[in-house]
Amino acid sequence: MVIDLHNHSYYSDGVLSPTEVVRLAKKQKCDVFALTDHDTIDGLAEASLEANKLNLQFVFGTEISAIWNNMTIHVLGLKINPNNKILQVGLKKHQQLREIRSEKIACSLGGAGIIGAMEKTKALAKTNMITCTHFAQMLIQEGICKDMKSVFRRFLVGKKPGGVGVKWAQFDEVIGWIRGAGGVAVLAHPFRYRMTHTKIKRMMNDLAINGCDGIEVVTATSSADEIILASQWANELGLLASTGSDYHGWLNQRVRMGCLQDLPNFEQAVWRNWTWQNY
């Protein structure tokens, strides 16, 4: 089976509509697909409707920002109930934090001589959700940076122009939102954070102690060594393993939906006991 449990639409920082993302999942021969937009569940109803039309197993999801050890991490909520009030309230708070952050980023970039940053960035977004990815793509389209790597070397991080910290909810609270909504909490892309391997494993251990169900062992950009190591750590910590491309759809991002390496150990699979029906 082709299973991709990490994808984005234009309700956060993706390019395609939920309907278009689901159609692409079908075209890419996905058997099971999750939409996991950042800090929102707004696209799930539309995506679920299209998935039912195409007979595609659809998993309701979201990707929630969280704080661990004063650092931002991302926790996927899979198989969630989008009608859960606690989850809805938590996501609403994060959306408000995102609005404040976007204004601060635009102001900071303006101070660095980038005029009209907010207006130019909003032109790239199809909803009210303005993310760091939108600002990054704006900097590329304006010719200020040549690629995403260049953007995050010069802007949007730390004390560089556009670098704005956010006090997201603590990781244990976010896990609580997900579990309270009947969902499965999964640490997203563990090797993408700027941490040593020792610190990554300590983070995984802290999440496991506080109710996290699994980690994303396979992503579209995972190396063979990362997959083996993540699978090993998951086994040691009693965590399940997930797989997701983290597809967004920007032309300068080479991620392809559904094109993922196999899990080293299927017995770890987060979906191993799931019933195959639309959630």
Q: Could you report the per-residue pLDDT of 200-216, keeping only the tens digit for each?
A: 999 999 999 999 999 99
Helix (DSSP H) and strand (DSSP E) numbers for the chain: 9, 7
Given pLDDT bands bounded at 50, 70 and 90, which one contains residue 277?
low
* CA nearest neighbour of 152 among 193, 118, 197: 193
The pLDDT of 85-98, averaged and rounded, is 98
Angstrom distance (rounded) from CA 206 to CA 213: 12
* Residue 97 phi, psi (nearest 5): -65, -35
Task: Tell me the H-state helices in 11-80.
Answer: 18-27, 44-54
Looking at this protein, which amino acid is placed at residue 198?
T
Angle at CA 21, nearest 5°, toward 234 and 150? Answer: 70
Pairing mode, strands 184-187 and 71-78:
antiparallel
The pLDDT tens digits for 229-266 are 999 999 999 999 999 999 999 988 889 999 999 999 99
Average pLDDT over all residues of the chain: 96
The pLDDT tens digits for 13-43 are 999 999 999 999 999 999 999 999 999 999 9
* Cα torsion 47, 278, 35, 26: sign: negative
* Residue 248 phi, psi (nearest 5): -120, -35
Rounded to 10 deg, the angle between the 44-54 and 18-27 helix axes is 30
Given pLDDT bands bounded at 50, 70 and 90, which one contains residue 142?
very high
Residue 116's contacts (CB-CB under 8 Å, 6 or more residues apart) are: none
The residue whose two tokens read 């993706």 is 14
Given pLDDT bands bounded at 50, 70 and 90, which one contains residue 275?
confident
- The torsion angle over the Cα atoms of residues 209, 212, 218 and 220, rounded to 10 degrees, is -130
Residue 154's contacts (CB-CB under 8 Å, 6 or more residues apart) are: 145, 160, 161
Ramachandran assignment for 58, one of left (phi > 0), alpha (psi -120 to 50 degrees), beta (any other):
beta
Angle at CA 8, nearest 5°, toward 197 and 63? Answer: 50
SS3 of residue 262 by DSSP = coil
pLDDT score for 279: 43
* CA nearest neighbour of 199 among 163, 165, 246, 233: 233
| Domains of the chain (ranges, CATH numbers) | 95-154 (1.10.150.650)
The pLDDT tens digits for 162-199 are 999 999 999 999 999 999 999 999 999 999 999 999 99
Looking at this protein, which amino acid is placed at residue 223?
S
pLDDT score for 253: 87
Using a pLDDT cut of 70, give the percent of the chain over it. 99
